[in-house]
Amino acid sequence: MRFRIKEGAWYACEFIGDEFSADCCSYSPIRVGKIELLKSGKRRFILDFYHMNYPSGVQNKRYTLETIERGTSFIMARGIEYDPVRILQIYEIDWSWLVRHFPDTKVQPDDIQQWLSRAD
């Protein structure tokens, strides 16, 4: 069974690219708004999402992506509209990921989805 993104759900997302600091990564919880499969035979889809780690006013994003790999617990996709390349790795969000990347976050392990829903 392969990882499947669901509309309305929150996920952990790693944005990988040369424009993201020295380690080439940026991390953000994202809430998926809509997924549109392009049916081009090139494993492409459009992902509308709320990017929690962006400044207010520019948090709603729309990326056209091409799947690189899809495992049982993640999907990795390349943004086809970006130069230099931007890669997204999306997977289930959990408390340890949240506090590792956002240590100032005051959230309890059993309250993640509710806390995230208040954020947007």
pLDDT in tens, the chain (120 residues): 899 999 999 999 999 887 776 678 888 999 999 999 998 888 999 999 998 877 677 788 999 999 999 999 999 999 998 777 889 999 999 888 988 888 887 777 677 777 777 665
Q: How far apart are CA 85 and CA 93, in angstroms?
A: 24
Model-level pTM? 0.86
Residue 45's pLDDT is 95
